[in-house]
Amino acid sequence: MSDAKPPVLAIAAPVRGEAPYLLEWIAYHRVLGIRAFLLGDNTETDDPTRALLQALHQHHIVLRFDWRGRVHFQKEFNQQALDTARLFADGIFLIDVDEFLRPAEGSSLLEITRRWLSDPSIGAVALNWAIYGSSNRVQAGDGLVIERFTRRAPQGFPVNLHAKPFARMSACAGPWWNPHAVALHAGRYTDTCGQDVAWDATRPDPVGITTKVVWDVLRVDHFVVKSHEEFLAKRARGSPMLPQRSWDGYFDLHNRNEVEDPIPAELVERTKAEMAKIAAQIAEPTAPSPAASPASQ
């Protein structure tokens, strides 16, 4: 791609039960420079997320794909999202709505991805997690996710070895069997520093879990439990993506608060301003438009 041209970036994520958080997540990533959001609607009938997704789709803020009533569908949805993004995007992030891309201080997401895409040898990049805990909150309280939860696990915490992918569209062959990686038909799979990624060969399926946590350049801040109240609501919803998940001990394992590491206040304020713009936009009437469907794959 031309060095003068900013990359066209997309994010794909499945969505269910995310009404309190969705505008924040979209606004945050729009502030970073992403404009294309491909979202898999897995909402239930009484889930207010459904109406929000429909409004966002009708106002061309997101592309909504209809995966209502489906379970364990994330690989199929990721395939649909990749096929769609090939039509317009240079690169795509496959993450979840409780995950926020976090460039290193002083860095720009657009410049980071421009460098990766300017290296034709790079096909995909593994982005390690930074697990955030509850910040000792029992109740949800007020404020954005990125305001309320400011404490994380140390970098060496083993769960941070999990990665999420950024993929060059022209090199990506499709999704991996798990949501932590993609398959490539060209190029190298690297860490964020451009070194060939080292997967953990001690695992039954090592792809998606690295041997070291690399936070240089870009990482994924994972607000996996939030407050205890919000975790209980998440557990009650269950996981639409995984065939089985044991919640025994899950909160205690992921509720790590050793390191104070808030998202910069300037980025929080810009996110709030962008949220207000989106809220005003979707409040305007618009003609309905059809949602994309798995049948259209």
Whose structure tokens read 């950024």? 166
Q: What is the pLDDT of residue 286?
A: 76
**Per-domain residue ranges for the chain?**
9-296
CB atoms near residue 183 (< 10 Å): 18
Q: What is the pLDDT of residue 295?
A: 40
Q: What is the pLDDT of residue 292?
A: 60
Q: What is the pLDDT of residue 203?
A: 86
Q: What is the pLDDT of residue 71?
A: 87
- C-alpha to C-alpha distance for 277 and 73, rounded to whole angstroms: 32
Q: What is the pLDDT of residue 240?
A: 55
For residue 115, report the phi and psi dihedrals to the nearest 5 degrees: -65, -45
Residue-wise DSSP of 45-68: TT-THHHHHHHHHHTTSSEEEE-T
143 near 248, Cβ under 8 Å?
Answer: no
- C-alpha to C-alpha distance for 44 and 17, rounded to whole angstroms: 8
Query: pLDDT 10s digit of each residue in the chain, 297 long?
Result: 545 688 999 999 999 999 999 999 999 999 999 999 999 999 988 899 999 999 999 999 999 999 999 988 999 999 999 999 999 999 999 999 999 999 999 999 999 999 999 999 999 999 999 999 999 999 999 999 999 999 999 999 999 999 999 999 999 999 999 999 999 999 999 999 999 999 999 988 889 999 999 999 999 999 999 999 999 998 887 665 554 456 779 999 999 999 999 999 999 999 999 999 999 999 998 765 555 655 443
Q: What is the pLDDT of residue 241?
A: 54
Q: How many CA atoms does the CB half-sphere of 173 hold within 13 Å? A: 10
- C-alpha to C-alpha distance for 216 and 193, rounded to whole angstroms: 7
Q: What is the pLDDT of residue 297?
A: 36
- As assigned by CATH, the class of the 9-296 domain is alpha beta
Please return the burial class of 163, using the count of CB atoms within 10 Å of its CB with bins 0-12, 13-18 and 19+: buried
pTM, 2 dp: 0.93
Q: What is the pLDDT of residue 296?
A: 40
Q: How many angstroms separate the Cα of 101 from the Cα of each of 60, 77, 222, 238?
A: 22, 21, 9, 24
Residue among 182, 147, 149, 146 nearest 163 (CA): 182
